[in-house]
Amino acid sequence: MARIIEVVERIMVPDLPTIALPCEDGVPLESNWHRLQINLLIDSIRQHWRGQTDFFAGGNMFIYYSARQVRNRDYKGPDFFVVKNVDGVKDRPCWIVWEEDGRFPNVIVELLSPTTAPADLGSKKQLYEQTFKTPEYFCCDPDTRSLQGWRLGRHQSYESLSPDGHGRLFSEQLGVWLGLRDGTCQGLTAAWVRATANWCPRLKKLNAARGRRRSRSRPVARRARTIERLTDRRLPPGEGGGTAREARAHQREA
């Protein structure tokens, strides 16, 4: 009689190194603009998704994604990132992927500077594309006033995004247009990356059509009110003309 022998293979999974995960490296941001811009992006997305608690928007935070990274102390921290479909109420000093059910950022924005641009456009871009698989990646250079963006294509590689006529790039993940706009934030006048939800060509056309309909209806309404006033003046009180007070006086006289 044949016997079935079950062979169970045991695979030893090494534990993550028992070291503290730092949440900051003590290196200050490149400029005051970088600090304000990060806060502005976080506030813009929170305002865009106000009332929702299923996303996390963070900035200047380390992201831990592998044991090797922790062992090598290869700390990576995007300037701004958004993760969707997570608990947005939970407070996090850093983003630890294995404690977030393997969730990586859906969108990352890096704010370039002369010292960080080579890595942001090189090794970091490769990491976000090949390891994080982040669907959308944007880079803003405040010195050249340029905004670049990429989206993962069919072959899971980044493809450049084309701007609209105003230099804006559309984020499908966020549902907003990202573009540079001059303004003043906390006393600093500069070009800022702004997230605009209503800059949609189709929506713009619909709003324009509604405006034209309102414009056409206003003269008709004015003419109707004018005819009504003229009619009231021509008719005697009690026969549709005059005011309500005149009509009641006419009835008493009758």
Each residue's pLDDT tens digit, 111-155: 999 999 999 999 999 999 999 999 999 999 999 999 999 999 999
Given a cut of 60, is residue 238 above it in pLDDT? no
> Regarding the domain delimited by 32-197, which CATH topology (the fold level of the hierarchy) does it fall under?
tt1808, chain A (3.90.1570)
E strands along the chain, which residues? 55-59, 63-64, 80-84, 95-96, 107-111, 136-141, 146-152, 158-160, 169-171, 176-185, 188-196
Average pLDDT of span 4-14 = 52
Q: Which of 171, 173, 190, 33 is nearest to 111 (CA)?
A: 33
Please answer whether residues 147 and 138 qualify as being in contact, where contact means their C-beta atoms are separated by less than 8 angstroms: yes
- Host H or E run for residue 37: helix 32-48
Residue range 232-241: mean pLDDT, rounded? 49
Contacts of 113 (CB under 8 A, 6+ apart): 30, 31, 34, 143
pLDDT at 231: 47
Size of the chain, expressed as the number of residues it contains: 254
Dihedral of the CA atoms 83, 89, 95, 100 (nearest 10)? -80
pLDDT reported for residue 21:
85
pLDDT value, residue 40: 96
Instruction: Find where tokens 């811009």 sit.
Output: 37
Q: Are 178 and 147 in contact (CB under 8 A)?
A: yes
Whole-prediction pTM value?
A: 0.72
Mean pLDDT, rounded, for 205-226 = 60
The pLDDT of residue 13 is above 50: no
- How far apart CA 168 and CA 166 sit, in angstroms, is 6
Which pLDDT does position 242 carry in this prediction? Answer: 53
pLDDT at 84 over 60: yes
Confidence of residue 179 (pLDDT cuts 50, 70, 90): very high
Q: Rounded to an integer, what distance in angstroms lies between the CA atom of residue 202 and that of residue 225?
A: 35
The band of 29, judged by pLDDT with boundaries at 50, 70 and 90, is: confident
pLDDT at 219 over 80: no
Find out whether 92 and 64 touch, Cβ atoms under 8 Å. no
